[in-house]
Structure 1
């Protein structure tokens, strides 16, 4: 009898363990992507270069994400995501393993998700997933005002809410600054509201980042998408007001005066008005074409001397073709041109324009 009871208990325990396992999941995923790129006016001498580097829209990464069913439509979730440079095997961010995302939280089927850790900002989520034709491009020459957000695209020490209510999605985030004696220093908060109905999607949002001295960088955005058969048309506007000096630094291409400024110049009240338009066309099942145009008008922008201020205009035009060899593997090619005038010449290492041509290979797992 004791043996029978013990055997039954062991069987029930095994069934319970299998049931618990069935309600939990952990997924390994990632993207392996690199391109070979030709770029004009790549240094002060206006020499051209050919270089292997990041892809135009997706950086290489690997990650783990998990979910555990807690019952009643509630789940525990986590995500750990690391970016790396395929061409040299290094971490995308020095001494930071999970530089892209590292969070844990609770998710409700009815009320949305509440997560804690290092996370994408609501602004980055919406532009990257829906409203920017290049999902916030990686090349310096393709980047526009979101690229200048720099640290504002992701935040450490953050609490984030993401809720879906029919066609409405609301995201809100607050990041603790962690500076003794000042609640506002180095903190961040932002909110977006996106609504979809039929072929239309709209998004509006606001974000504020503070530096260690409580100087502010504020961004407001309005964006829209319209699906016309196999074509998605996109357009939007970003308004930025910066007193942290980070925009002057982050708008600069590699080797430019802006990228080499010794430190941010604060309290200049730089104002940016960024406009964009683009389209993504699914030509055939394997072939996708993307065209994008970005424009930014900046006032109180830092000149190449790093000391005086003036107005600057910068614009970029990009064409991207992607061809799927399978469900997981794509080849692509891209051509882009960018030019700047006035204070925007600080963003270029030589002449005030650059042309890039790249081909690449992407595998998704």
Structure 2
């Protein structure tokens, strides 16, 4: 979700740590990075949370219309022998009020981990993205936009469970003959109860030229110390996905299947596909369609379709416009936007978002 971190400001770690009397190697560095994304959101209908029925349209300021607003620090130190110490601290921001957003509700709720990388792979410990979520990001037809993509579908089903995993330990293998694997275990944090809040995830990626195939799974329990985060991050569910991406010059085509089997709720089976085309170095258009059906009751289903246009004013600043439509049947409540319109009423809802995003 934070893949665009170019033109970053790098500061020697000794400058940051010197006031504390700590020393650092010359090969150490700390990088400040961030995204500021704000726009305007319109939807033709909204969901009345009290009655569950459709209500009037909305017109509001939007935070994170294309990607989440955030800032963070990441750093590394060369330990010698091909090993590097690494860390990341990342916080989500709500540009409409200056508060926290797009995280588990804690200050560094998006990422807060430390690890070691080398020829053996990478080991990290702390709050981090699961292999399941990383697989979905890599195969999402619209590049995991926060409007009209697989992201609102994910959040609708399980909030931020699997996205920001507390108490987590992960391993990412090196790439061997095109194959690369990842595994994560998040401990519940409750003494004497290993199952409460326990989460685990794994993925296997295969790359051959311009082709990427990614498969992943996730399993999580309710409870544990992470259940106290302001935004639900231990929704009990099991997830499965397989997706593919192929790049033809300026055209990228993607397809994905995802299953969210949520305890006591939907067994959502999502079929998605779409494409992205780079018309000019500054202009990109993408489109995607997602059909969701409840395996417990097929009367509950929805279809979400969206198209987006981005125009880069510079390497760090772009304008975006997006249009989406969702049609819900039965008890399905798919929304068009992660922020501002996460849940939708039965029937057809139209939505659009326009905004600006700046990277630093």
**Same topology, TM > 0.5:** yes
Aligned to 1:337: 325
Q: Cα distance, 1:351 vs. partner?
A: 4.8
Instruction: For residues 194-213 of structure 1, give each alpha carbon's deviation from its aligned partner in whole angstroms, at most 9, with x where no partner exists.
Output: 11101211011111011129
2:250 equivalent to 1:241: no
Distance 1:43 1:99, change over 3 A: same
Q: Cα distance, 1:145 vs. partner?
A: 4.1
Q: Cα distance, 1:125 vs. partner?
A: 1.5
Match of 1:22, SS?
Answer: coil
Match of 2:55, SS?
Answer: coil
Aligned to 1:86: 95
User: What is the total number of aligned residue pairs between the two structures?
Assistant: 313
Q: Answer yes or no: is the 8 Å Cα contact 2:301–2:330 preserved in 1.
A: yes
* Structure 1: gaps of 5 or more residues: 1-18, 244-265, 302-309
Higher relative contact order (CA 8 A, sep 6+): 2
* Rg (Cα) greater in structure: 1
Aligned to 2:29: 25
Q: Distance in 2 between matches of 1:131 and 1:345?
A: 23
2:146 equivalent to 1:138: yes
Q: Answer yes or no: is the 8 Å Cα contact 2:158–2:235 preserved in 1.
A: no
Q: Distance in 2 between matches of 1:290 and 1:359?
A: 15
Match of 1:172 among 170, 183, 198: 183
Aligned to 1:42: 46
2:280 equivalent to 1:284: yes
Per the normalisation by structure 2, the TM-score is: 0.81
Distance 1:190 1:23, change over 3 A: same
TM-align CA RMSD: 2.4
Aligned to 2:294: 298
Match of 2:162 among 146, 152, 155: 152
Instruction: For residues 183-230 of structure 1, give each alpha carbon's deviation from its aligned partner in whole angstroms, at most 9, with x where no partner exists.
Output: 112110010011110121101111101112999511111100011111
Q: Distance in 1 between matches of 2:246 and 2:162?
A: 27
* Structure 2: gaps of 5 or more residues: 1-22, 49-53, 225-233, 336-342
Instruction: For residues 77-108 of structure 1, give each alpha carbon's deviation from its aligned partner in whole angstroms, at most 9, with x where no partner exists.
Output: 00000001112111115861101100001111
Q: Distance in 1 between matches of 2:92 and 2:292?
A: 28
Which structure is higher in helix share? Answer: 1
Match of 1:126, SS?
Answer: helix
